[in-house]
Amino acid sequence: MALRIAKAELPDELKQGMIDQLGAVMEPAEVLWHNPKVAQDGLGLGRLVAQWDAADESLKSFAHMAVAAQVGCSWCLDVGYFQAQNENLDLKKASQVPRWRESEVFTPLERDVMEYAEAMTNTPPTVTDELYAGLLDRVGPAAMVELTTYIAFVNFSTRGNTAHGISSQGFSEACEIPLEARA
């Protein structure tokens, strides 16, 4: 997929911060910088979302990658897998998220979270009362609200990136276990 809009020039300080954190400048920021207010607010919201701590990080990571795989956001899947490695999450499991239904490495809770993420991502959403109640019983109200809002934020990001034509920057190539393709 090719970018549908040229990259804008980022301020040097912002570029350096991204290079320090990820080793590269994030292409979504370069695209969004055509409207600095939108870019700054989006980056700020992402930083706030990253501070939420009621839901398990592995569950959020798997949900993020499940949404990215379903929407087809190779950039989000790529950076999500890279972040899983940097957060010391289970890379064997993370590598299997694109084909989670065929994989045997996930717990029932992890499977339900990815099913929930995909159900939220469907248009229209296909979340059932049974799926929601089952997750709520296991993770509790605070984590359920966080997980739901997190998945909604990931949908916002993945769909915007895909519409702009943003694709993988190769972050996951630094990971020791290759990322599986969606089945």
pLDDT (tens digit per residue) in 67-121: 999 999 999 988 888 888 878 888 889 889 999 999 999 999 999 999 999 999 9
Complete domains list, the chain, with CATH: 12-50 (no CATH), 57-174 (1.20.1290.10)
3-state secondary structure of 26: coil
Q: How far is CA 159 from CA 35, 41, 67, 144, 153, in A?
A: 18, 17, 10, 22, 10
pLDDT (tens digit per residue) in 152-170: 999 999 999 999 999 999 8
Q: Does residue 182 surpass a pLDDT of 70?
A: no
pLDDT of residue 82: 83
pLDDT of residue 84: 84
Bigger pLDDT: 147 vs 170: 147
